[in-house]
Amino acid sequence: MSENSEIRRMIADSLEKKGRYRAEVIEVDGAGSRSSRMKNLEELMEEFDSDQTAGAQWYFVSVAPNEPITRPFGATPPAPPIKEEQTPEFLVKQARILEAAGDISLAKRIYESIYSNGERSAAVFRGLAHCFEKEGDWVRAIRFYEEAVAHETSLLSYEELMSALMSQKRFQGAGEVAMRALVLPNLPPESKERLNLVAGDCWLSTGQVQRAIEHYQQAGSLELGSVEPKLRLGSAYLRSGAISQAIDVFTDVENKDARNSRAIFGLGCAYVVKNETKLAYQCFLDSLRIELSNPTALFYLIKMAFKLKKYSETETLLVKYLDQSPVSASLLYCLAVLQYHLGKYPEVTKSLGRLRAVKPDHEGLKRLGDLIKKAPLK
C-alpha cells in the first residue's frame, strides 16, 4: 500500500469506527499548479453531488509528514531567480556611480538600504564611510572604515582608514594602521615605500623621531629611484639634532638633482643650526630662486639678510613673492624695511601704503614713516 493510500484509509477507518459515519476520502494532487488543483476540486464536487451524498458535510484536509521531504505536499513553486538589478553587487555599482557624480545623498540611501537588508561587505562599509566623510561626519566615517578593514584586510581598506585618521590628526592610530598594512602578503615595492613613508610621517608627528627615521630608511632601502625617502629622512635627522647626518643626506640628493629646492632648503636649515649664516643665506636664496612658493625659506632668508646686511637680492625675491601670493602684513613691513636700507624711499612709501590698507594699526607704520620723513631726498 502506498503512503497516500494508507493516509486515506486511516482517515476513513477513524470515522467509520464511531459507527455513525460513512466516509469517503479521495486524494487530490497538491503538488500541481493552482489551476490544476482547482480543476480537481471541481471534478470532486461533481462526483459528490449525488443522492448518496445528501446531508453530507465536506471538509478539505491538508495532510503533510512531520519530516520535510523533497517535494512537500502543497509546496509553492520555487522563487524566481534574483535579477541582477536586485543584487547587492549591482546596487553598490550604482551607488558608486552616484558618488562619482556628486549625488552623495542618494548614494548614501542606497548603501543604507543594502546595509539594512543584512549585507555586510567591505564595499558597503567603504561606501558608507565615503558618504559620511563627504558630509563631514568623521566619527561615523572612521567607524565604517574600521568595519571595512575588519571584513576585508585589503590595502585599499587600510589606506582609506589611514587617510581618514590623518585628516583628523589622529597620527598614532594612523601609524598603527600603517604597521598592520605593512605585514600584508605580496605587497608590491611601491606600496611598501608608500606605507613606510606614511608610518614615518605619523611617528614624526607624534614625536617618535627615531621610529620615523627607521621607516624612512626602510623606504629608501627599496631603491625605487625616488628621492622622497631621503628628503624626509634628512628632515627627521634635523628634528633629532643629527645635523651632520642631515647634511650628508641633503647633499646626496643635491648631487643627484642640483635643482631640488627642498634638499637645498634642508641644507640651509642645517647651516642655521650650525650658525653658518653665509652658507644658510646662500642656500635659502638658491632654494627660492628655484621654487619661490616657500614662505619658511623666505622667512629664514630675510633673517639671514638682516644679519649679513645683504638686502638687494632678498628685496628682489620678496617683491616677486608678494606679487604672486596672498598679502602678508609682516612681509610688507619687511619689504619696506629692506627698501629703506637700500635707500628706495619712494618704494618704502608705497609699501607702507599697502601695509596701511591691510593692517592700519601695525606698530611699524609710524616708526618707519617718521624715518622716511627724516630721510635725505635723492
Q: What is the pLDDT of residues 133-145, one digit of tens each?
A: 999 999 999 999 9
Q: What is the pLDDT of residues 43-79, one digit of tens each?
A: 666 665 655 556 666 665 666 666 554 555 555 555 4
Angstrom distance (rounded) from CA 355 to CA 336? 9
* Residue partners of 167: CB distance under 8 A and separation at least 6: 138
Q: Which residue has the higher pLDDT, 165 or 29?
A: 165
pTM, rounded to two decimals: 0.72
Distances (CA, A) of 127 to 89, 111, 144, 166, 175: 12, 7, 9, 19, 23
The pLDDT of residue 378? 55
**207: pLDDT strictly greater than 70:** yes
Note the pLDDT of residue 81: 52
Average pLDDT value for residue range 187-216: 98
Is residue 349 within a helix (H) or strand (E), and if so which, with residue range? helix 345-358
pLDDT value at residue 303: 97
Q: Identify the pLDDT of residue 79.
A: 47
Measured CA to CA, the distance from residue 65 to residue 71 in angstroms comes to: 11
Q: What is the pLDDT of residues 68-121, one digit of tens each?
A: 545 555 555 554 454 555 688 899 999 999 999 999 999 999 999 999 988 889
Q: What is the pLDDT of residue 61?
A: 64
Name residues whose C-beta falls within 8 Å of residue 299's C-beta, 6 or more positions apart in sequence. Answer: none
Query: What pLDDT score was predicted for residue 25?
Result: 64
pLDDT at 18 over 70: no
Angle between helices 295-308 and 312-324 (to 10 degrees): 160
Q: Among 29-33, 83-87, 113-117, 171-175, where is mean pLDDT lowest? A: 29-33
pLDDT at 87: 85
What whole-number distance in Å separates Cα of residue 279 and Cα of residue 353? 34
Q: What is the pLDDT of residue 374?
A: 78
Q: Is 323 exposed, middle or buried (0-12, 13-18, 19+ CB in 10 A)?
A: exposed
Q: Where in the chain is the domain with CATH 1.25.40.10?
A: 240-319
Better-predicted residue by pLDDT, 372 or 218: 218
Stated as kind and residue range, the H or E segment containing 331 is helix 329-341
SS3 string, 81-147, reads CCCHHHCHHHHHHHHHHHHHHCCHHHHHHHHHHHHHCCCCCHHHHHHHHHHHHHCCCHHHHHHHHHH
pLDDT for 66: 60
The residue-averaged pLDDT of 28-43 equals 58
CATH value of 240-319 in 1.10.10.60, 1.10.10.10, 1.25.40.10, 3.30.70.2740: 1.25.40.10
Note the pLDDT tens digit of each residue in 257-275.
Answer: 999 999 999 999 999 999 9
- Residue pair 200/169 in contact (Cβ under 8 Å)? The answer is no
Q: Give the residue from 330, 333, 342 showing the smallest Cα distance to 375.
A: 342
Tell me the average pLDDT of the chain: 86
Distance between CA 141 and CA 101 in Å, rounded? Answer: 20
Mean pLDDT for 179-204 is 97
**Predicted local confidence at residue 82, as pLDDT:** 45
Distance CA 347, CA 342 (A): 10
Q: What is the dihedral of CA 314, 319, 322, 327, to 10 degrees?
A: 100
Question: Has residue 3 got a pLDDT over 60?
Answer: no
